[in-house]
Amino acid sequence: MAYADHRQEVGLGAEGARVSDYLTLLKPRVMSLVVFTALVGLLLAPGGVHPVIAITAILAIAVGAGAAGALNMVFDADIDAMMSRTAHRPIPRGRIEPAEALGFGLVLAVFSVTTMALLVNWTAAALLAFTIFFYVVVYTLWLKRRTPQNIVIGGAAGALPPMIGWAVVTGSVSIEAWVMFLIIFMWTPPHFWALALFKQSDYAAARVPMLPNIAGDAATGTQIVLYSVVLALVGLAPVGIGMAGLAYGVVAAVLGLWFVALAVRLRQVDDPRARRALARRLFGFSMVYLFAIFLALLADHLLPIVSAGGA
Amino acid sequence: MADTPQPDDSAKNRRRRSLAIALALGAFALLFYAVTIIKLGPAVLDRPL
């Protein structure tokens, strides 16, 4: 069914839009991961900021991420309507008009970047603006429908939040911020390729050139293994540069080995149904991995401070 | 569709959206006020008229 017909069939116009529909436009689940990694970047940075400034910065990052999500939903509405995972989103369901979502996203983007610039600092604001631009223009409008490397390059947008958090405190970017960026950057391809493996028919219907649809399952499996190995090594980098201690290193090593083991099993399996089940498992584990690795970084940083304070 | 909004819901939904915008703008103004005080210090209020 053509996208316009689909919208006409389900469409009710903006009059029916609820506040919750607008909140859905902000991609709250993606936003929560963005906020968490940005918060870790902010808390790990040397020095400190006033708590109200820190809360303001996190709010600006959350709203900026939401704006990027809303703009992504505007430009992806036609393919979202064709995919089971995204067909329920407010625009393909006809709950919000694309023009309204566009206005909503643009206003939030401008407000979040301006707030960051005026109340926090210009480096963090510039990074936030670049993140929104990269996600909406470079990833959504340019790469997503053109190349199977879409999420490899586009992953930079999702990797920037901890760097923004770091810049909130320091006003600059250093090696520690780049290491956190690299962890998320290397995590993104295996995470999304695992998703693409068990949602292959969705992406085929929407004609999005994800790697499994273009290169096949085996080649995708090989790429997932390669990226997992690099990710496991990058996960240890904080120890190498003295950013985290041995306790973090042990956690990162165990998580990294687990990730690689799941990826290798996925590569070896031949049965399509078993492969989809394993891909789903790897996708779920990848989310646990990212959350755990940033939590471990935070714990490694905060526990000595807490214990020194208690002594 | 069970959760399809009916015409009666339109006014209610519009009112709720307006309220959400009002609350967001109010919070935004408060945030700017709070950060201004923090950045300039409470002494900004202590000046001769």
Query: What DSSP string runs through A49-113?
Result: --HHHHHHHHHHHHHHHHHHHHHHHHHTHHHHTT-TTTTTSTTTTTSS-HHHHHHHHHHHHHHHH
ipTM given for this complex: 0.78
Confidence grade of residue B10 (pLDDT, cut at 50, 70, 90): confident
- Please give the pLDDT value at position A12: 52
- pLDDT of A103 strictly over 50: yes
Residues B32, A119: C-beta atoms closer than 8 Å:
yes
Q: Which long-range contacts (CB under 8 A, 24 or more apart) does A47-51 make?
A: A47/A169, A47/A170, A48/A169, A49/A120, A49/A168, A49/A169, A50/B38
- pLDDT of A228 strictly over 70: yes
CA atoms within 13 A on the CB side of A15: 9
User: Which residues in chain A touch residue B37, judged by CB atoms under 8 angstroms apart?
Assistant: none
- pLDDT of A14 strictly over 50: no
For CA atoms A12, A16, A19, A20, the dihedral sign is: negative
- pLDDT of A291 strictly over 90: yes
Residues B9, A52: C-beta atoms closer than 8 Å:
no
- Distance separating alpha carbons of residues A163 and A179, to the nearest angstrom: 9
- Please give the pLDDT value at position B6: 56
Percent of chain A with pLDDT over 90: 91
CA atoms within 13 A on the CB side of A60: 31
User: Which residues in chain A touch residue B31, judged by CB atoms under 8 angstroms apart?
Assistant: 56, 59, 115, 119
Give how far A115 is from chain B: nearest CA, Å: 9
Residues B38, A19: C-beta atoms closer than 8 Å:
no
- Could you tell me the CA-to-CA distances from A279 to A10, A85, A221, A264, A265 in Å, in that order? 33, 16, 9, 11, 10
- Distance separating alpha carbons of residues A85 and B13, to the nearest angstrom: 26
Confidence grade of residue B1 (pLDDT, cut at 50, 70, 90): very low
Query: What's chain A's average pLDDT?
Result: 94
Question: For chain B, what's the residue count?
Answer: 49
A118 → chain B, closest CA residue: B32
Tens-place pLDDT, residues A40-85: 999 999 998 999 999 999 999 999 999 999 999 999 999 999 999 8
User: Which residues in chain B touch residue A119, judged by CB atoms under 8 angstroms apart?
Assistant: 31-32, 35, 39
H-helix or E-strand containing A117? none
- Please give the pLDDT value at position B41: 79
B9 → chain A, closest CA residue: A16
- Among candidates B10, B31, B39 on the partner chain, residue whose Cβ is nearest the Cβ of A16: B10
Counting Cβ atoms within 10 Å, is residue A53 exposed (0-12), middle (13-18) or buried (19+)?
A: buried
- Distance separating alpha carbons of residues A233 and A153, to the nearest angstrom: 20
CA Rg value for chain A: 20
CB atoms within 10 A of CB A237: 18
- Please give the pLDDT value at position A4: 54
B6 → chain A, closest CA residue: A16
- pLDDT of A13 strictly over 60: no
CB atoms within 10 A of CB B47: 6
* Residues A233-248, mean pLDDT to the nearest whole number: 97
Among B1, B15, B23, B38, the strongest candidate for a mutation testing the A interface, having the largest count of A CBs within 10 A, is B38
- Distance separating alpha carbons of residues A278 and A271, to the nearest angstrom: 11
Confidence grade of residue A226 (pLDDT, cut at 50, 70, 90): very high
- Could you tell me the CA-to-CA distances from B41 to A5, A195, A234, B37 in Å, in that order? 58, 50, 43, 5
- B26 and A CB contact within 8 Å: no
* 3-state secondary structure at position B47: coil
Residues A119, B10: C-beta atoms closer than 8 Å:
no
Percent of chain A with pLDDT over 70: 94
* Residues A114-125, mean pLDDT to the nearest whole number: 97
Residue with tokens 């789903």: A280
* Residues A6-19, mean pLDDT to the nearest whole number: 62
Confidence grade of residue A169 (pLDDT, cut at 50, 70, 90): very high
**Lowest mean pLDDT segment, chosen from A11-25, A179-193, A295-309, B30-44:** A11-25
- pLDDT of A15 strictly over 70: no
Residue B39, token pair as written in the block: 């950045």
